[in-house]
Amino acid sequence: MGGLPIESTSMAISVSQHPKDEKSAPSTVPADSKPKKKICCACPETKKLRDECIVEHGQSACEKWIEAHRKCLRAEGFNV
């Protein structure tokens, strides 16, 4: 009998990964499901400027670019 719940659980996991469930998730938990991209792919323009500045001048000299990137990520729905 121990195998039955595991099979049901894995079946439930695969079902929850379908796009239909992802579309319904924002109505239940909007904060967790709001970002439509991975954080690494969001805001490529500000990310590039931030990274180039840090490489050339160091983190302390690039606070405006770091904050601009954070602002962009927040606009995309990330909690940073």
**pLDDT tens profile 24-57:** 333 333 455 567 889 999 999 999 999 999 999 9
Do the annotations mark residue 62 as ligand-binding? Answer: no
Do the annotations mark residue 41 as ligand-binding? Answer: yes
d(CA 65, CA 59): 10
Quote helix, strand, coil % in the chain, to nearest 5: 75, 0, 25
d(CA 45, CA 39): 13
Report if pTM > 0.85. Answer: no
The beta-strand segments (E) located in 1-80 are: none
Q: What pLDDT is stored for residue 51 in this prediction? A: 98
In Å, what is the CA distance from 50 to each residue of 17, 30, 42, 45, 63? 34, 28, 13, 9, 9
